[in-house]
């Protein structure tokens, strides 16, 4: 059983947004009872069925690396964190819906993680600002998750969700908004669960090059590809 | 008429200080957080503004700017306001924000924060009893009573920080030099860290698989929570559950190890960075020393003592003030980054504002010693019949105590982790 293939997904975000609760919910399907500060990095494993319900279904281990810290840390702390950014196959960017700064910091977080490969000495030379070109040529799948949805008042919900939609567009990623203390947001068959398993499938494909070689990567291809997958999933 | 002009000058400068405090708060302290409660920012900037105004008044005293009666009036006014802030406003808000963080007491926040504030006032008052601070002439609710207590706390704080800083600074620099960190050390430590993470991952994989098979078979894993849970788990437990708990314990131990390794790696990186900075700095002197060197060398020996004494005392006092403000702000920022999180940031900023206010008030008390006799009168007049000598002796005592205990503490810490400091 331990010989299943694996992929590595980073979970990044400011302190206090709920990364540890999210990872716990994703991996153990239970709410984390006593969240405390993450020092260094905490890892958890999720067993994921790739292409569930189709004949090519296969089980993979998804390692979720929850790296703690703040994006404004000293460069020595950043160099220490950089050791976890090796060979990542996907990134989940977590932000707090009640805290705008945490959403803005996601740009810096993604730069920190993605720039790791570009500079061999491990020292960050950019000042962390948003670079459109960098995201255009980025091959690593991204997913944006907004937490603490229950703390947003009904009246402000539309405005907040519009803002996060723009954010997800900037990263060329899907977005999920939920409350980590309530498992029903990720219940099987809900649209959030679909997006999540789509993201993990994408990560697995990129890693193991499971696409047919005659398909041209691009937008029309994605539509055709996902259209086929959706038929296989069950809806209650 | 001159009083109005003086007042307007004072108010303008206060607004400037307020703006500076506001900017410092936004750009430095809170640059990674979102300001949701503007009250906190306002209180911090107001405390900063009034503290700086006190120093400004000292400088005006030395330079002889403004009318002396208006200076006296502003001193009294400033002192009243800052005492009000430090004793009433800031502690109340600290209590309020602490209480709002606790979910249980959320409904009766105001009541509990008033209770907290009353407790604070009680201890604050009791603090003054054992000290021979006042001459017994004064009434119970006078400025002297309040300022004496604030002064004691502030002076204790300053002495503690100075003592610790005096010992810690050379120790850290020495240890950085002696350790001689190389890249190889860092890489070796990082490899150990990653190996530990791999071990954690493989154990977690087993747990995840076990949980999945249990779920598919219909068993339910109950984590032993609470007293009765543990007793139940002894008698009836599925083999899968037992296995999981065992592996969980191993995982906990490994996670603790990974955290320690991570902290050590961060420490090594910091050492490497500091060595670079320190070595770059060697050989340069700060501008003040160079200025004095130039003045002494080129301006000749003719020295009108009376003329220069005023200016030198002004410069000296100014330097002391500026460096202590700058040093305090830097230390506060570092401290804030180290311990704050998004939940507690408000409380911590208010605590820092409180410390800053008390620190500045006691600086004024202590700075009296550095000033020539003729300028001391205003401080003595305004602050009343405080026993200033007591404060100086108290500062020295606490400084010694703090320095000695820091030495002891660092020695013990050094003994606990000798392997870090040994070169391979």
Chain A partners of B245 at a C-beta cutoff of 8 Å?
none
Let me know: does B214 contact B240? Beta carbons within 8 Å. Answer: yes
B337:A72 CB<8 A: yes
Structure-token match 């703040």, residue found: A70
Nearest chain A residue to B339 by CA distance is: A37
Q: Is the pLDDT of residue A173 over 60?
A: yes
Give the best residue of A34, A41, A99, A124 to mutate against chain B (max B CB count within 10 A): A41
Give the residues of chain B that fall short of pLDDT 70. 31-35, 103, 105-106, 128, 130-144, 172-173, 175-182, 219-240, 273-343, 367-375, 378-379, 381-387, 416-424
pLDDT tens digit string along A27-72? 877 777 777 767 778 888 888 887 767 777 778 888 888 887 777 6
pTM: 0.62
- pLDDT of the residue at B226: 60
User: For A90, left (φ over 0), alpha (ψ -120 to 50), or beta?
Assistant: beta
Distances (CA, A) of B398 to A94, B118, B388: 47, 28, 16
A61:B205 CB<8 A: yes
B342:A15 CB<8 A: yes
Helical ranges in B106-218 per DSSP H: 109-127, 143-179, 183-217
Distance CA A234, CA A126 (A): 45
A27:B265 CB<8 A: no
B193:A2 CB<8 A: no
A45:B208 CB<8 A: yes
φ/ψ of residue A158, rounded to 5: -60, -45
Q: Identify the weakest region by mean pLDDT among A91-95, A193-197, B147-151, B172-176.
A: B172-176
Average pLDDT over residues A192-199: 85
A106: β partners: none
- pLDDT of the residue at B288: 45
- pLDDT of the residue at B349: 81
A45:B343 CB<8 A: no
A37:B269 CB<8 A: no
Chain B partners of A75 at a C-beta cutoff of 8 Å?
273
Q: Is B202 on the interface with A (CB under 8 A)?
A: yes
Q: Show which of residues 12-31 on chain B sit within 8 Å of chain A, judged by CB atoms.
A: 31
Sheet holding A142-147, edge to edge: A41-50, A58-67, A6-12, A90-96, A142-147, A174-177
Q: Is B388 on the interface with A (CB under 8 A)?
A: no
- pLDDT of the residue at B286: 46
Quote the minimal CA–CA distance from B32 to chain A in Å. Answer: 7
- pLDDT of the residue at B423: 40
- pLDDT of the residue at B371: 66
Which domains, from first to last, does chain A contain?
A: 6-116+132-210 (3.40.50.300)
The residue among B359 and A137 whose pLDDT is bigger is B359
A90: β partners: A9
B262:A80 CB<8 A: yes
The alpha carbon torsion through A69, A70, A76, A80 (nearest 10 deg) reads: 30
- Three-state DSSP class for B304? coil
Let me know: does A197 contact A46? Beta carbons within 8 Å. Answer: no
Q: Is B273 on the interface with A (CB under 8 A)?
A: yes
A2:B200 CB<8 A: no
- pLDDT of the residue at A226: 43
Nearest chain B residue to A77 by CA distance is: B266
Q: What angle do CA B373, B374, B377 make, to 5 degrees?
A: 90
Quote the minimal CA–CA distance from B171 to chain A in Å. Answer: 20
The residue among A212 and B71 whose pLDDT is bigger is B71
The structure tokens listed for B327 are 């040093």
Q: Which of A42, A47, A74 sits opposite B208 (nearest CB)?
A: A47
Burial of A66 by CB count in 10 Å (0-12 exposed, 13-18 middle, 19+ buried)? Answer: buried
Chain A partners of B33 at a C-beta cutoff of 8 Å?
99, 101
- Three-state DSSP class for B134? strand
- pLDDT of the residue at B424: 41
CB neighbourhood size of A52 (10 A)? 16
DSSP chain A: -TTS-EEEEEEE--TTSSHHHHHHHHHHSS--SS--PPPSEEEEEEEEEETTTSTT-EEEEEEEEEE-S-TT--HHHHHHHGGGGTT--EEEEEEETT-HHHHHHHHHHHHHHHTTTT-TTS---S-S---HHHHHT--S-EEEEEE-GGGS-HHHHHHHHHHHHHHHHHTT-EEEE--TT-GGGG-TTSHHHHHHHHHHHHHHHHHHT-S-TTSPPSHHHHHHHHHHHHHHS---
- pLDDT of the residue at A88: 85
- pLDDT of the residue at B140: 52
Q: Is B335 on the interface with A (CB under 8 A)?
A: no
Chain A partners of B265 at a C-beta cutoff of 8 Å?
80, 83
B342:A96 CB<8 A: yes
Quote the minimal CA–CA distance from B145 to chain A in Å. Answer: 42
- pLDDT of the residue at B408: 85
Structure-token match 């770059």, residue found: B280
Q: Of the candidates A182, A205, A166, which has an alpha carbon nearest to the alpha carbon of residue A51?
A: A205
Quote the minimal CA–CA distance from A16 to chain B in Å. Answer: 6
A80:B273 CB<8 A: no
CB pairs under 8 A between A and B: 89
Chain A partners of B206 at a C-beta cutoff of 8 Å?
1-2
Chain B partners of A80 at a C-beta cutoff of 8 Å?
262, 265-266, 269
Q: Which of B197, B208, B337 sits opposite A46 (nearest CB)?
A: B208
Classify residue B2 by its DSSP letter. H
Q: Of the candidates A10, A1, A138, A116, which has an alpha carbon nearest to the alpha carbon of residue A62?
A: A10
Helix (H) or strand (E) holding B267: helix B239-281
Nearest chain B residue to A64 by CA distance is: B201
- pLDDT of the residue at A228: 41
DSSP A124-144: --S-S---HHHHHT--S-EEE
Q: Is B302 on the interface with A (CB under 8 A)?
A: no
Q: Is the dihedral of CA A70, A72, A76, A78 positive or negative?
A: positive
Which of A63-72, A91-100, A126-135, A220-229 is predicted most confidently?
A: A91-100
């Amino acid at each position: 059983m331990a010989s299943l293939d694996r992929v590595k997904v980073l979970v990044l975000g400011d302190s206090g947004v709920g990364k540890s609760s999210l990872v716990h919910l994703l991996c153990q399907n239970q709410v984390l009872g006593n969240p405390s500060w993450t020092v260094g990095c905490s890892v958890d494993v999720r067993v994921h069925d790739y292409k569930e319900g189709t004949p090519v279904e296969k089980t993979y281990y998804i390692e979720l690396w929850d790296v703690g810290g703040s994006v404004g840390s000293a460069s020595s702390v950043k160099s220490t964190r950089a050791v976890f950014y090796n060979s990542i196959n996907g990134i989940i960017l977590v932000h707090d819906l009640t805290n705008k700064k945490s959403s803005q910091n996601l740009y810096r977080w993604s730069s920190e993680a993605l720039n790791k490969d570009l500079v061999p000495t491990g020292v960050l030379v950019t000042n962390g600002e948003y670079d459109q070109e960098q995201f255009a040529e980025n091959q690593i799948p991204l997913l944006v998750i907004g937490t603490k949805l229950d703390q947003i008042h009904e009246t402000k919900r539309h405005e907040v969700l519009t803002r996060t939609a723009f954010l997800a567009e900037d990263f060329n990623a899907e977005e999920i908004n939920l409350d980590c203390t309530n498992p029903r947001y990720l219940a099987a068959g809900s649209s959030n669960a679909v997006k999540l398993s789509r993201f993990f499938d994408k990560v697995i494909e990129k890693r193991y090059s499971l696409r047919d070689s005659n398909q041209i990567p691009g937008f029309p291809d994605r539509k055709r590809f996902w259209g086929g997958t959706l038929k296989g999933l069950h809806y209650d | 008429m001159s009083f109005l002009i003086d007042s307007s000058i004072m108010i303008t400068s206060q607004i400037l200080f307020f703006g500076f405090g506001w900017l410092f708060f936004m750009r430095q302290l809170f640059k990674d957080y979102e300001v949701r409660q503007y009250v906190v920012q306002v209180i911090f900037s107001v405390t900063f503004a009034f503290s700086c105004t006190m120093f400004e008044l000292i400088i005006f005293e030395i330079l002889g700017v403004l009318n002396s009666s208006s200076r006296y009036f502003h001193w009294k006014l400033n002192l009243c306001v800052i005492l009000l802030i430090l004793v009433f406003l800031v502690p109340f808000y600290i209590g309020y924000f602490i209480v709002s963080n606790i979910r249980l007491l959320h409904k009766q926040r105001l009541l509990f924060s008033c209770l907290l504030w009353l407790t604070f006032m009680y201890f604050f008052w009791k603090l003054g009893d054992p000290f021979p601070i006042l001459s017994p002439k004064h009434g119970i609710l006078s400025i002297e009573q309040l300022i004496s207590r604030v002064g004691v706390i502030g002076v204790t704080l300053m002495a503690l920080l100075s003592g610790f800083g005096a010992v810690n600074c050379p120790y850290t620099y020495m240890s950085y030099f002696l350790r001689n960190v190389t890249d190889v050390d860092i890489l070796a430590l990082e490899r150990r860290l990653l190996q530990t993470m791999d071990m954690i991952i493989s154990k977690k994989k087993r747990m995840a698989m076990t949980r999945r098979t249990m779920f598919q078979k219909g068993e339910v894993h109950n984590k032993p929570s609470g007293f009765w849970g543990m007793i139940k788990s002894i008698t009836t437990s599925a083999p899968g559950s037992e296995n999981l708990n065992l592996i969980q314990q191993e995982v906990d131990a490994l996670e603790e190890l990974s955290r320690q390794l991570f902290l050590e790696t961060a420490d090594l990186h910091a050492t490497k960075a500091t060595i670079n900075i320190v070595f770059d700095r060697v050989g340069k002197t700060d501008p003040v020393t160079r200025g004095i060197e130039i003045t002494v060398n080129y301006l000749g020996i003719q020295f009108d003592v009376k003329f220069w004494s005023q200016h030198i005392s002004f410069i000296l006092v100014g330097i002391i003030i500026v460096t202590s403000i700058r040093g305090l702000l830097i230390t506060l920022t570092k401290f804030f980054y180290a311990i704050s999180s998004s939940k507690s940031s408000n409380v911590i900023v208010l605590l820092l504002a409180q410390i800053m206010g008390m620190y500045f008030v006691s600086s004024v008390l202590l700075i009296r010693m550095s000033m020539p006799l003729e300028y001391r009168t205003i401080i003595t007049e305004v602050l009343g019949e405080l026993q200033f000598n007591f404060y100086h002796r108290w500062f020295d005592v606490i400084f010694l105590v703090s320095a000695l205990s820091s030495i002891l503490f660092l020695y013990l810490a050094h003994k606990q982790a000798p392997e870090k400091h040994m070169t391979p």
